[in-house]
Amino acid sequence: MLVYAYAKINLTLDITGRNPDGYHLLDSVFQSVALFDAVTVEKGGEISVLCDGINGKDNIAFTAAKKFFEFTGVTGGADIVIKKGIPLLSGLGGGSADAAAVIIALDNIYKTNLDKKSLEKIALSCGADVPFCLFGGTARIGGIGEKITALPDIDGFWATVIIAGEKKSTRLMYEKLDKMPPVKPFTGEFLELLSRDTYSAFSAMGNAFGAVAGNSEVISLLAASGALGASVSGSGPAHFAVFADKKSAVAAAKKAEKQGLLSYAAPFVNRGNEIIE
């Protein structure tokens, strides 16, 4: 079974506090974009993962398969092959999308017919972003990722994604933010504007990690390309801008490529994992 696992961008990301166990609490708007990994899953004697990135037990896709079999009690295995289209360690949720794709595929292959709540429970046991990646689209995410509120689809817009620099330690970035004055929240204003005028909402995008992971030169480059707004995705190093049409998004990506930056142009999509065959 072939599943396309779509990337996500954070249109907003606020850090609202911490749980007693140390996990940070978020208030964020996630958006799926048509940048994807191709995840092929077949029945196997054991669990194996081949990926042009991270193989075997170190890949979150292995964890997803393991958690699926533990939760369902099904005896079986999975041969998983991942062809990466989402850059590794970029803040675009590639690993989480792969894990969600594995859960969806195994549910279909083994005909377990799990309900949404069960799928999300398995997903959350793999990682905070995995539940969203099961279904994707546009959603407000709270808690550590388990609180998902679907929002109306945002159709017709494009994202230009630029990978700027190397992945920094998310843990260290959280530690830096914990020592700083609270960053101005973005999500509330964004959603208020979104309810009235989608175009103006993008000017209110923002990410708390921008204070410690943002690249002002990349943001300026995107803004100068006529973007409706620009921000950081996750904890970086992916930066992105939203455009009203494909032509503008592709032109911005080509402009970034000329400066030696890895860039992509992709439309918003209103789904998460998509079973292809």
Catalytic: 176? no
Query: Please, is 8 exposed, middle or buried when counting C-beta atoms within 10 Å of its C-beta (0-12, 13-18, 19+)?
Result: buried
Catalytic residue among 27, 37, 129, 147: 129
Sign for the pseudo-dihedral over CA of 59, 86, 235, 185: negative
CA separation for the pair 134, 266 (Å, rounded):
19
CA separation for the pair 152, 131 (Å, rounded):
18
**Residue 56 is encoded by which pair of tokens?**
């075997």
CB 99 within 8 A of CB 127: yes
**Cβ neighbours of residue 79 closer than 8 Å, sequence gap 6 or more:** 41, 42, 43, 44, 48
Tokens 């993962």 locate to 49
Query: Please, is 117 exposed, middle or buried when counting C-beta atoms within 10 Å of its C-beta (0-12, 13-18, 19+)?
Result: exposed
Catalytic: 8? yes
CB 87 within 8 A of CB 238: yes
CA separation for the pair 160, 212 (Å, rounded):
21
Pick the closest to residue 232 from 158, 147, 163, 142 (CA basis): 163
What are 238's strand-pairing partners? Answer: 163
Catalytic residue among 8, 27, 37, 98: 8
CA separation for the pair 189, 38 (Å, rounded):
35
Residues carrying an active site annotation: 8, 129
